[in-house]
């Protein structure tokens, strides 16, 4: 089941974010164990100021997609809905969990766009732990690619 997260979900969401940060992705090579208190604090804030969708099955949160409205640095009157975290536990990646989270995000982005509350919304095309999928089929236009040189 997809739903908006509540404060009661903050601990579960925190654990999912820590899993995201510690899996083989862009964050693992330059960090140690994530600061659980800091992440929990950020999650509680995002539950109030952002959009936090959770995928729940058997009364357990196993997936999350978090997005925030963010002004463009150079054009502050241009606000985008930006995907921040999109994570589903490994055992549920072959289910509909990820797709349903993404559909919820797309619906909200489309609604905000139609109501002129944002000028666009973003989606990450691929992390190192994600299958390569083509977002252009869903109406997205690629704008940039992020490369990271690490220590």
Bridge pairing between strands 60-71 and 51-57:
antiparallel
66: tokens are: 């978090």
Residue 126 confidence (pLDDT) above 90: no
pLDDT-derived band of residue 123, with 50, 70 and 90 as boundaries? confident
How many residues are present in the chain?
A: 151
Tens digits of residue pLDDT in 91-103: 998 899 999 999 9
Q: Is 90 helix (H, G, I), strand (E, B) or coil?
A: helix
DSSP letters spanning 106-149:
HHHHHHHHHTTS-SEE------TTS----GGGGT----------
Contact 69, 77 (CB under 8 A): no
Mean pLDDT over 105-126 rounds to: 87
Residue 53 confidence (pLDDT) above 50: yes
Domain covering 2-138 in this structure, CATH number: 3.40.630.30
Parse the chain into domains and list their residue ranges.
2-138
């Amino acid at each position: 089941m997809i739903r908006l997260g509540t404060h009661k979900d903050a601990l579960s969401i925190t654990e999912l974010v820590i899993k995201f940060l510690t899996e083989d992705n862009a964050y693992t090579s330059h960090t140690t164990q994530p600061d659980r208190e800091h992440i929990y604090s950020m999650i509680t804030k995002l539950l109030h100021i952002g959009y936090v969708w959770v995928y729940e099955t058997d009364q357990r949160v196993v997936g999350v997609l978090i997005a925030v409205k963010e002004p463009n640095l150079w054009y502050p009157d241009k606000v985008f809905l930006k995907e921040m975290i999109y994570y589903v536990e490994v055992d549920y990646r072959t289910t509909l969990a990820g797709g349903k989270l993404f559909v919820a995000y797309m619906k909200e982005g489309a609604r905000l766009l139609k109501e002129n509350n944002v000028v666009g919304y973003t989606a990450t095309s691929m992390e190192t732990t994600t299958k390569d999928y083509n977002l252009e089929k869903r109406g997205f236009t690629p704008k940039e690619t992020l490369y990271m040189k690490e220590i």
